[in-house]
Amino acid sequence: KAIAKSSLQHMVAQPNPALALRSDSERQIRSTVDWSETAVYGEHIWFETNVSGDFCYVGEQNCMAKLLQKPLSRRKCAACKIVVHTPCIEQLEKINFRCKPSFRESGSRNVREPIVVRHHWVHRRRQEGKCRQCGKGFQQKFAFHSKEIVAISCSWCKQAYHSKVSCFMLQHIEEPCSLGAHAAVVVPPTWILRVRRPQNPLKSSKKKKRTSFKRKSSKKGAEEGRWKPFVIKPMPAPLMKPLLVFVNPKSGGNQGAKIIQSFMWYLNPRQVFDLSQGGPKEALELYRKVHNLRILACGGDGTVGWILSILDQLRLNPPPPVAILPLGTGNDLARTLNWGGGYTDEPLSKILSHVEDGNIVQLDRWNLHVQPNPDANPEEKDEAAADKLPLDVFNNYFSLGFDARVTLEFHESREANPEKFNSRFRNKMFYAGTAFSDFLTGSSKDLAKHVKLVCDGTDLTSKIQDLKPQCLVFLNIPRYCAGTMPWGNPGEHHDFEPQRHDDGCIEVIGFTTLSQAALQVGGHGERLCQCRQVVLTTSKAIPMQVDGEPCKLAASCIHISLRNQANMVQKTKRRNSMPLLNDQQPVPERLRIRVSRISMRDYEALHYDKEKLKEASVPLGIIVVPGDSDLELCRTQIERLQEDFPPQPSALERLLFQEGDGAKPKTLSSQKLSPKWCFLDSTTADRFYRIDRAQEHLNYVTEISQDELYVLDPELVITQTVGTSPAMPDLVDLSAAPAGHHFAFPSSSSSPPSSPAPSAEPERCLLHKDDLLIEAAKSGNFSKFQELHRAGRDLMVRDSSGQTVLHHAVKSGSKDIVKYIIENAPSEILDATEEENGETSLHQAAALRQRTICHYIVEAGASLMKTDLQGDTPKHRAEKANDPDLAAYLENRQHYQMIQREDQETAV
């Protein structure tokens, strides 16, 4: 009790006079950092929460919910993570408990204030990790309503101690805080000073000082005459890399709001900025004198471009390098700099480490100068067309034609109905649907007739007219269109060099219908040239886009030239983690690692329960790799495991996985890995998380595993048999089993089932022979089909081979019947499979090359990851039917379904 009382008294500052200037309600609901003159020292930053397992921090004696005997809404402080009932926030003032201070006061009243940062000790009822004093773990109370305080931890450095005299010594209260593992990127609160407004501005001496301060601010680029209550006074610290975090809360399906809260916990809240609250300019002005400053842009590529443009305006020298946390839809610049194609669930603590360790590289930026085309035909004039581009500089690409038309339709739809575009998955779905529709209509086929192109003085117009492209792209970075590589690898062509983002050259690429489709499966466009100057002339209004910002530009003459080079942070391997394992043991020459697979269903349900998720995993085999291998090499070895599948009996016996605690052995997986599998990091304290495919070369195997490597397979088919528990993953298909091998069956089944069901079909599909509704679907008679359904016939009927009316409607090619079934039948019919080949209706439509019907079924929500008895997805069936365009479309939508699962998991 004495320790607790002392620590509480030390953790808070003395009562602040500014407190009287603010109302209670204003203090209680504040969820943003206060930069005004009346900012309260040690003020909490409250966000609504549904956390019900933690007691109100004010204690039972002062808790309003306890006194009123009823549930009340709760709020959580982003900076120190305490949870209180909303009405109890006022009680925190009575017990004098403040949040970790994010600034310090200037002036004579605070002369004695130390310039070191003190710990901010907080009592915890639950705590991860181990006690810093005794090295033992914290006793976790399984009862949600445990009142016992198990730990005392600092919300700056995250050090934690047992809440007892033998561990939390009194000297800890007074000792300076190191700011923890991320001290190099944290802006200390001692650097941020609040400057009080002079009490009597009429006094000549003070008036001169104030005028002088205004003039200095004006020279720095601040607004003329604007008073700033906060100034940054950095201390000399050559090893520090202070970080400013800018978050676009609207990017990535509103992921940004949660990320803001997490960064406020790891950093000083005054170095984390919400871009919807005025943009980045004011913050960059405030921190412009901080040495070695770095920036983390959390958003899409457009957010990065916005920040780079502001840096241009402010003329900072040198400009701070920019890292990226990708929250957007395409994230092509983030992919280029190794930050991945989209943030999923990597701990932000690791991201901060990567920002600190990343290399600084240069990024070319290009000017776009637009002039009207005086020679354009007046009859071709489009009144709705714009006379200038939305941006006059681009970092990624500038394009015109097919892709710009799709982006423009998306942009106009989002402007009209913003509520329908509130997730990254929905945005990608709309893109794919619009692209498919535009592809069917061929609206950009005559692009070559209205374009003249001159690159570095060479006229390429005749080459374009011969190629007849649907799209022209001027590319600055290797990635385009959500991760594709349209320039490819020109090693076999002596005319072209590999693409770089810092060589002062731009790549010009043309796309035909065929190359646009092949792009999604590893192809590339038609390489036209690499150049430093471009003059593009159009003779009519054409859709164009600049880094994803679209418009329809009137006939114009566009000059493209190099603007400057921006400093960027490129994610690299963390060499300082080698050559030691996570447990600080030397890395052996070779590692023998077990590999186990986890289904997406189990990952979504159990990834916060590491032990249960490990139990749900299914063995794949064992790989042997060098001790310093990265994950790219491990991927190669794992895919070699799959070459001879299923394994021979002898291999099965050798590779059985025996649990260390003597549990019964697991059986090797009976299914090959799908192409979309990814690695899981199982070494973090609280949960598993996914590793982006594009970042595998940056991760050592010893960073994510010590004895067993886990992979996530989003397309894993969970085969269920009679008497099988639904939670039993990846049960073995007996038809693929080698003779003489025995498999383990669930205890609820006393003997092996006679044959596995191809899938767990819903029981509501009925079996009728020669039903009239099926006959109408077979013949394609829409009016008869509609009449029978309205008379009470069940749309879930099946024939003797297990085919539904949707199967037969697809075979007959009746689009009207297919649409009618989709609109009126339960959604289970979309993934219903027939018995002979295990095909869904989408498999059959893809095999028959019925593009429009495929589009209908996919848009209705059919699974693109479901495999038939041959192991083929609908995409594979389209490939076998020699329809590469349809296969590319299905490949795209298959990827989007994976993203949907990611977004759902993130929301959970």
Break the chain into its structural domains and give their ranges. Answer: 2-180, 222-357, 366-565, 575-736, 766-907
The per-residue b/e assignment along 868-889, b for 16 or more CB within 10 angstroms, e otherwise, is: beeebbbbbbbbeeebbbbbbb
- The CATH-assigned architecture of domain 366-565 is Sandwich (2.60)
Contact criterion met (CB below 8 Å) for 552 and 681: no
| Weakest-pLDDT range from 165-174, 292-301, 429-438, 846-855 | 429-438
pLDDT at 887: 85
> 3-class SS at 795?
coil
pLDDT at 116: 85
**Predicted confidence (pLDDT) at residue 37 exceeds the cutoff of 80:** yes
What's the full length of the chain, in residues? 908
**Predicted confidence (pLDDT) at residue 142 exceeds the cutoff of 70:** no
Please compute Rg for the chain using Cα positions: 31
Which residue's entry shows tokens 């052996």?
588
| Weakest-pLDDT range from 312-326, 458-472, 651-665, 762-776 | 651-665
Which span out of 208-212, 436-440, 555-559, 680-684 was modeled with the highest average pLDDT?
555-559
What element of type H or E holds 92?
Answer: helix 89-94
CATH top-level class of 222-357: alpha beta
**Predicted confidence (pLDDT) at residue 590 exceeds the cutoff of 90:** no
**Predicted confidence (pLDDT) at residue 655 exceeds the cutoff of 70:** no
Which span out of 48-62, 211-225, 324-338, 433-447 was modeled with the highest average pLDDT?
324-338
Give the confidence band of 54 by pLDDT, cuts at 50, 70, 90.
low
| Weakest-pLDDT range from 242-251, 263-272, 442-451, 679-688 | 442-451
Once rounded to an integer, what is the mean pLDDT over residues 441-460? Answer: 83
> 3-class SS at 303?
helix
pLDDT in tens, 701-734: 888 876 789 999 887 654 433 333 333 333 333 2
The DSSP bridge pattern shows strands 556-570 and 533-538 to be antiparallel
719 against 82, higher pLDDT: 82
pLDDT at 140: 60
> What is the average pLDDT score of the chain?
77
Which residue's entry shows tokens 């998955």?
425
pLDDT at 6: 40
**Predicted confidence (pLDDT) at residue 678 exceeds the cutoff of 50:** yes
Is 366-565 in the same CATH topology as 222-357? no
Give the confidence band of 657 by pLDDT, cuts at 50, 70, 90.
very low
Give the confidence band of 13 by pLDDT, cuts at 50, 70, 90.
very low
269 is written with which tokens?
């809240």
**Predicted confidence (pLDDT) at residue 584 exceeds the cutoff of 70:** no
669 against 124, higher pLDDT: 124
**Predicted confidence (pLDDT) at residue 650 exceeds the cutoff of 50:** no
413 against 16, higher pLDDT: 413
Find, among 338, 334, 331, the residue nearest to 359 by Cα. Answer: 338
What's the gap between Cα 644 and its chain centre? 35
Can you tell me the distance from the alpha carbon of 388 to that of 552, in angstroms, rounded to the nearest whole number?
9
The DSSP bridge pattern shows strands 797-798 and 766-767 to be parallel
| Weakest-pLDDT range from 119-128, 206-215, 691-700 | 206-215
Which span out of 44-53, 430-439, 744-753, 838-847 was modeled with the highest average pLDDT?
838-847
**Predicted confidence (pLDDT) at residue 218 exceeds the cutoff of 80:** no
Contact criterion met (CB below 8 Å) for 439 and 855: no
Find, among 568, 560, 566, the residue nearest to 393 by Cα. Answer: 560
**Predicted confidence (pLDDT) at residue 518 exceeds the cutoff of 80:** no
Once rounded to an integer, what is the mean pLDDT over residues 820-837? Answer: 88
Single pTM value for the model? 0.70
pLDDT at 488: 83
3-state secondary structure 130-150: ECCCCCCECCCCCCCCCCCCC
446 against 490, higher pLDDT: 446
Which span out of 430-439, 631-640, 697-706 was modeled with the highest average pLDDT?
631-640
What element of type H or E holds 529?
Answer: strand 526-531
Handedness of CA 585, 588, 594, 597 (dihedral sign): positive
The DSSP bridge pattern shows strands 160-162 and 397-401 to be unpaired
Once rounded to an integer, what is the mean pLDDT over residues 206-230? Answer: 48
- The CATH-assigned architecture of domain 766-907 is Alpha Horseshoe (1.25)
pLDDT at 144: 42
pLDDT at 906: 46
**Predicted confidence (pLDDT) at residue 576 exceeds the cutoff of 50:** no
487 against 16, higher pLDDT: 487
Can you tell me the distance from the alpha carbon of 858 to that of 893, in angstroms, rounded to the nearest whole number?
8
| Weakest-pLDDT range from 57-71, 454-468, 729-743 | 729-743
DSSP states of 799-848 = -TTS-BHHHHHHHHT-HHHHHHHHHHS-GGGGG---TTT---HHHHHHHT
52 against 278, higher pLDDT: 278
pLDDT in tens, 244-298: 999 988 776 667 788 999 999 999 999 999 998 889 999 999 999 999 999 999 9
Handedness of CA 436, 438, 442, 444 (dihedral sign): negative
pLDDT at 491: 63
Contact criterion met (CB below 8 Å) for 816 and 785: no
Which residue's entry shows tokens 């794949």?
620
**Predicted confidence (pLDDT) at residue 52 exceeds the cutoff of 80:** no
DSSP states of 416-471 = H-GGG--SHHHHHHHHHHHHHHHHHHTTTTTGGGGEEEEETTEE-HHHHHHH--SE
Once rounded to an integer, what is the mean pLDDT over residues 599-625? Answer: 84
Can you tell me the distance from the alpha carbon of 880 to that of 312, in angstroms, rounded to the nearest whole number?
52
**Percent of the chain whose predicted confidence (pLDDT) is above 70:** 74
Give the confidence band of 835 by pLDDT, cuts at 50, 70, 90.
confident
Once rounded to an integer, what is the mean pLDDT over residues 190-198? Answer: 82
Q: Which residues are within 8 A (CB) of 553 and not within 5 positions of it... i.e. 6 or more apart?
A: 370, 385, 386, 387, 388, 389, 400, 538, 541, 542, 543, 544
